Amino acid sequence: MDIGYARVSTAKQDLTRQLDALAAAGIKEDHIFVDKKSGATTARAGLQAALTHARDGDVLVVHTLDRLGRTVRDTLNLVHELKERGVGVRTLADPLAIDTAEPDSPMAQLAFVMLALFGQMERTYSTERAAHARAVATANGRRTGRPSVVDADKLEHAVLLRASGSPIREITAKTGLKRTTLYRHLPPRPPSAGPGADCGL
């Protein structure tokens, strides 16, 4: 029997494409298990249910290999565990065909290892590119991360109070902004601000 498994990393992502592909492959709806959780761990309710459901001679079908796990080690361990139980793994949309239910096909085994390696390499490169982009943005004085939700009027009021020499305690009291917010959004006082300057603000 074929058992389908689909996964996305967050609740906001859509499973439709994977579910449609599994259905098109002839897998019954009640034999499809899903997760909306990162692949960084195998402690996923849908995956565990699929593994529990699988029996000797069954095949676990996924859209692409990276739906099973994020690292080569985890994916290899999972496939090896399934193989020991007589359960195969087949993918539907990978550029290299994978079907470990065919033990006599060395190319299928090689494709599996290669795709797992390529998937981890791409994730590593993506992480490095993101870190580099953040470093460049920070070096150029640009903020990274989520957009600020600080009230612009309150921030402008804080700037005026600071310019008039008000201490940080007075600024937080009058604007309602937290001290950490002020430190994050206001540039430091110049050195000429004198000994009365309040912690750089």
**Closest Cα to residue 123, out of 44, 70, 165?**
70
Looking at the structure of the chain, the number of domains it has is 2
Say how many C-beta atoms besides its own lie within 10 A of residue 131's C-beta.
Answer: 10
In a domain, 142, yes or no: no
Tell me, yes or no, whether 113 and 52 share the same domain: yes
Question: Is the per-residue pLDDT at 98 higher than 90?
Answer: no
CA distance 48 to 141: 46
Which phi and psi angles does 170 have, rounded to 5°?
-70, -40
Q: Which tokens sit at 150?
A: 């600080």
Confidence of residue 87 (pLDDT cuts 50, 70, 90): very high
Task: Specify whether 6 is located in the same domain as 86.
Answer: yes
Task: Kindly state whether residue 137 falls inside one of the protein's structural domains.
Answer: no
State the pLDDT at residue 183.
79
Tell me if 199 is assigned to some domain: no
Where do runs of H (alpha helix) occur along the chain?
A: 16-24, 45-53, 72-84, 106-139, 152-163, 168-175, 179-185
| CATH number of the domain to which 85 belongs | 3.40.50.1390
Domain shared by 21 and 65, yes or no: yes
- Provide the pLDDT confidence category of residue 2 given band limits of 50, 70 and 90: very high
Name the maximum alpha-carbon separation found in the chain.
80
If asked whether residues 73 and 120 sit together in one domain, one would say: yes
pLDDT of residue 196 exceeding 90: no
pLDDT in tens, 39-59: 777 789 999 999 999 999 999
Question: Do residue 111 and residue 158 come from a single domain?
Answer: no
Length reported for the chain: 201
Q: Which residues are catalytic?
A: 9
Q: Can you tell me whether residue 87 is helix, strand or coil? A: coil
Is 65 part of any domain?
A: yes
Q: Which residue type is seen at 72?
A: V
Tell me the sheet residues that pair with 36.
8
Residue-wise pLDDT tens digits, 159-175: 888 888 888 888 888 88
Are both 95 and 162 inside the same structural domain?
Answer: no
Same domain, 15 and 79: yes
pLDDT digits (tens, 9 = 90+) for 139-149: 777 665 555 56
Tokens of 38: 């990162």
- Mind spelling out the 3-state secondary structure of 112-151? HHHHHHHHHHHHHHHHHHHHHHHHHHHHCCCCCCCCCCCC
On whether residue 107 sits in a domain, the answer given is yes
- The reply to whether 42 and 112 lie within a common domain is yes
Which domain covers residue 168, as residue numbers? Answer: 152-193
Residues 94 and 50 in one domain: yes
Give, to the nearest 10 degrees, the angle between helix 106-139 and helix 72-84: 150
